[in-house]
């Protein structure tokens, strides 16, 4: 999930941490508190990315903004169900666990497919250039044989 942007990487790790705490929270008060902490972090993180996205033209910025809004809406919907207190403790726990699992499943792909553009944009704004990634390329079969 690392993009090489220290702030984004730290915020994503925190988001994942909040989702894990929600997954393991006990029913009732704990679940609601964990959800509220997750919600507060996500709101702040998405608002910062949204500000960059509104400055970006084209690409998948619109789609990215929509994904953030949909995730926040899911948090609000689950929070509203918990607050209405119409479910028993077990059903509440299943609900928050399902939400946590969906978020944990969604996050890595969102970071790879969408947040990478925000990281590039921030890098460009800081340096005026495009980031370069250096990675080891696996040797071709003939080259590996020649080395032996
Ligand atoms: Fe993000
Ligand atoms: Fe994002």
pLDDT tens for each residue of the chain, 148 residues long: 899 999 999 999 999 999 999 999 976 678 899 999 999 999 999 999 999 999 887 778 999 999 999 999 999 999 999 988 899 989 999 999 999 999 999 999 999 999 999 999 999 888 887 666 677 877 776 666 665 5
Cβ contacts of residue 15 below 8 Å, gap of 6+?
Answer: 38, 41, 42, 45, 103, 107
The one-character DSSP state at 132 is -
Residues 62-98: b if buried by 16+ CB within 10 A, e if exposed: eebbebbeebeeebeebbeebeeeeeeeeebbebbbe
Report, at the CATH architecture level, how domain 6-131 is classified.
Up-down Bundle (1.20)
Q: How far is the CA of 114 from the centre of ligand 1 (A)?
A: 8
Ligand 1 centroid to residue 138 C-alpha, Å: 30
| pLDDT computed for residue 70 by the predictor | 98
Q: Which ligand is closest in space to the CA of residue 1?
A: 1
DSSP structural state of residue 28 = T
Q: How far is CA 9 from CA 57, 64, 131, in A?
A: 23, 17, 15
3-class secondary structure per residue, 38-79: HHHHHHHHHHHHHHHHHHCCCCCHHHHHHHHHHHHHHHHHHH
Distance 119 CA to ligand 2 centre (A): 10
C-alpha 85 – ligand 1 centre gap (Å):
31
Task: Give the Å distance between the CA of 128 and the centre of ligand 2.
Answer: 22
């Amino acid at each position: 999930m690392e993009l090489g942007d220290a702030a984004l990487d730290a915020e994503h790790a925190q988001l994942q941490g909040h989702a894990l705490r929600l997954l393991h929270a006990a029913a009732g008060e704990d679940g609601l508190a964990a959800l509220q902490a997750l919600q507060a972090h996500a709101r702040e993180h998405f608002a910062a990315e949204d500000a960059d996205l509104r400055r970006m033209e084209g690409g998948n910025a619109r789609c990215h903004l929509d994904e953030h809004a949909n995730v926040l809406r899911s948090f609000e919907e689950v929070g509203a169900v918990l607050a209405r207190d119409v479910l028993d403790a077990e059903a509440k726990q299943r609900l928050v666990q399902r939400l946590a699992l969906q978020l944990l499943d969604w996050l890595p792909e969102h970071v790879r497919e969408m947040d990478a553009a925000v990281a590039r944009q921030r890098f460009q704004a800081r340096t005026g250039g495009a980031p370069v990634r250096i990675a080891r390329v696996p040797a071709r079969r003939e080259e590996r044989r020649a080395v032996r």
